[in-house]
Structures are given as structure tokens and as C-alpha cells.
Amino acid sequence: MTLSFRPDRRAASVLLLSPLLTALPLAARAATATPADADGALLKAVIDGPQRSAANRARDVYRHPFETLRFFGLKPGQTVIEIAPGGGWYTEILAPYLRDHGHYYAAHNSATGGSEGARKGRARFEAKLAAEPAVYGHAKVGSMPTAVGFTDIAPPGGADLVLTFRNIHNWIEAGNLDDTLRAFYAVLKPGGVLGVEEHRATPGTPLAKVIATGYVPVDFVVARARAAGFEPAGSSEVNANPKDMHEHPNGVWSLPPTLQGGEVGKAEFLAIGESDRMTLKFVKPR
């Protein structure tokens, strides 16, 4: 009996990206890889691709995008919503990865409400996407959920992944964490995953200090996610930083990339690196 090999469409998507990306050896290996290996090769190719800025690439040593996204279960063909993408650090990876066989949504600031600074932040983000249609042409931008949930980004129960990177502390300060988590729950499919990366506080840190420093206890995040209906599905230490002892004059913003203290203690904070972070996965029950 003669066996023939038909390349998996996920492996083929690496080849479709090859004119855009520079990781041709990865693409070649992916063409004869198993589906799981092809998914990983595609992700590595995108992470190594020229669409990423040098400044963003330099932060990989702290943010571990390959390991983090694989832990969250990212795969081609999924519908993924990135929450509060800021200037697009993860967008440079997620949008091209999902371009050919998936859907990428960015839940950003409102285009019409909020502060002028928030509106300008969204405008800069949209301009970034518009400047490279070959990379971001299929990405869709909408707004953060309100108290009634998402209104302009994806149908209820339609997302495979909702991903949030270092945003939980902002919603705690704003007093809308529970509403936000419930909106994530509603927009996910049964079995869908909420991936959370957040600055990690020492256990027992009081709420006032959480708001002041930006560091959040793990058990607080788990409790609020459970209250929204999620079930914990795992944790990873990939973004842990044992050099960060969580006690800084300007909270987490003392550390890079913010370096809020300016030159005061800068060398010390650069030696520590970016913050110690929890990386948690939650699932919406089937």
C-alpha cells in the first residue's frame, strides 16, 4: 500500500505567508510537519517576521509571546479577540497569524467616547493597521465592552479565545472588572478560553495597594473569573520574574518599559526587567 501526504492547510498557511515573512526555513519545515508542529512553525515564522518593530521584538525576552500564546491554545482558524491592544504589541503577531484562516478582533478604546487621549490612541492603532494592508487587512477593530457587553465586535458566543495582557488592574481601578469579565464570558463559545496575563502581587495585597501599584493577587483574579462563570484551566510561570519583588516607588510603572521615575533608580529597574506576571487560562464550560 502506498501512502500519500496531503499538506495540512495550517502548514500551507505558512507558505502563503512566506512572501510577507522572512522565516522561510520554518515555512519549509512546516510543509512536511504534523498539524500541531505546523501551527507552531507558523507562529514562530510570524514572531520572526518583518512586520514586527525592533522595539517590540526587543521585549520578547520579557513577554515570551510564543510560549504564552501556545499556552493559551492559539491555533489558525480561530476567532480571537484581543482586549485593549494599546499600540499593537501583540497585534503584530496575532493579526498576521490569523490572517488567512481565522478572525482577529481588537477591542480598543471607543472611537467617539472617552478622553481625547483615548480616542487618539485608537486612531494611532487604526492608522498602524491601515498602513500595512497586506499584514492587517483582515483585522477588525471595535470597542471595549460596556455594561451590556460587546456591541460592535463579534457575535455572542462566537469567539474561541479572548486574550488580555496587563489590563486587569485598570478594570479594578475603574470599578468595572466584573462587568468586563461577564462580557468576555458572553462573547466566548462554550469551551472557549480566556487568557490572562497580569502583573502579579504578593498574596494578601489589599485592594488599595493593588490600585496604587498595578500588581494584582492571583487568587483575586481567579475568584472574579469564577464569579463570572469561568473555570480555571491552568497556569504558567512563563512570564514570572523572580527579580521583581513588587515593591517600587511608582509601583509596576517604575519598571521598564514605563520607567516612570526617570533617571532615579533607572539602572536598578532595568536590571530587574519587566514585571513579575501571572499567566492564567480560564474556560467557559460547555
CATH of the domain at 158: 3.40.50.150
Same domain, 109 and 192: yes
Q: Quote the pLDDT of residue 155.
A: 79
Question: Are 127 and 268 in the same domain?
Answer: yes
Q: Is residue 26 part of a domain?
A: yes
Predicted confidence at residue 2, as pLDDT, reads 28
DSSP structure string for 10-22: HHHHHHHHTTT-S
The verdict on residue 186 lying in a domain is yes
Residue type, 119: R
Same domain (yes/no): 240, 114: yes
> In the chain, which residues have pLDDT < 50?
1-16, 18-19, 21-32
In a domain, 21, yes or no: yes
Domain count, the chain: 2
Q: Which amino acid is at 261?
A: G
Are residues 16 and 150 both part of a single domain?
no
Cα torsion angle, 261, 266, 272, 274, sign: positive
254 and 210, same structural domain? yes
Range of the structural domain that residue 44 is part of: 8-50
Q: 101 lies in a domain?
A: yes
List, in sequence order, every beta strand (DSSP E) within 118-273: 140-143, 159-165, 188-199, 231-236
Q: Which residue has the cell 519549509?
A: 28
Residue 38 sits in the same domain as residue 175: no
Does one domain contain both 76 and 12? no
Residue 56 included in any domain: no
Cβ-Cβ contacts under 8 Å for 152 (sequence gap 6 or more): 142, 143
For cell 488580555, the residue is 164
Are 22 and 115 in the same domain?
no
- Is 125 part of a structural domain of the chain? yes
One domain for residues 92 and 211: yes
- Do residues 183 and 217 share a domain? yes
Same domain for 36 and 72, yes or no, is no
1 inside domain: no
Q: For helices 218-227 and 177-187, what crossing angle results, to 10°?
A: 60
Same domain, 46 and 65: no
What integer pLDDT is reported at residue 146 of this predicted model?
86
Q: Is residue 3 part of a domain?
A: no
**Dihedral angle sign, alpha carbons of residues 219, 220, 223, 229:** negative
What local confidence, expressed as pLDDT, does residue 3 receive?
28
How confident is the model over 216-236, as pLDDT tens digits?
A: 999 999 999 999 999 999 999
Yes or no: say if 109 and 144 are a contact pair by the CB < 8 Å rule: yes
129 alpha-carbon distance from chain centroid? 17
